[in-house]
Amino acid sequence: AAGVIQSPRHLIKEKRETATLKCYPIPRHDTVYWYQQGPGQDPQFLISFYEKMQSDKGSIPDRFSAQQFSDYHSELNMSSLELGDSALYFCASSTGTGGLRDTQYFGPGTRLTVL
């Protein structure tokens, strides 16, 4: 079965640089979520989109922005990178929105290292 695809899988950036992470949801999934997992920590919700509209917002820094495109893929743009942004960034997808029974399927993650 098709899964969530994330690219790149690994990314190394310098401080103050920018980064763009991409997420391709499971076919026919219209909701995308972004999570950040620091070393040894649990995933923290950043932001989500349904039908190209932001549906929920968590602890996403102002330096980050995201969007969902017409083909449902999503991109997370990160600017003025800081050392503390080094983490594993997960994308997840699901069908529907707001439904309490939706299950989120996670991609393999993008490991961002800021030097």
Partner 1 sequence: GNSVTQMEGPVTLSEEAFLTINCTYTATGYPSLFWYVQYPGEGLQLLLKATKADDKGSNKGFEATYRKETTSFHLEKGSVQVSDSAVYFCALRGGTASKLTFGTGTRLQVTL
97 touching partner 1, by CB under 8 A: yes
Q: How far apart are alpha carbons 64 and 74 in whole angstroms?
A: 13
Tell me whether residue 25 or residue 107 sits nearer to partner 1 (CB atom): 107
- Interacting stretch for partner 1, rule CB under 8 A, among 14-22, 48-56, 61-69, 79-87? 48-56
Q: How far apart are alpha carbons 82 and 10 in whole angstroms?
A: 17
100 touching partner 1, by CB under 8 A: yes
Q: Which of 69, 63, 62, 59 is nearest to 34 (CA)?
A: 59
Site for partner 1 in 23-42 (CB under 8 A): 31, 33, 35, 41-42
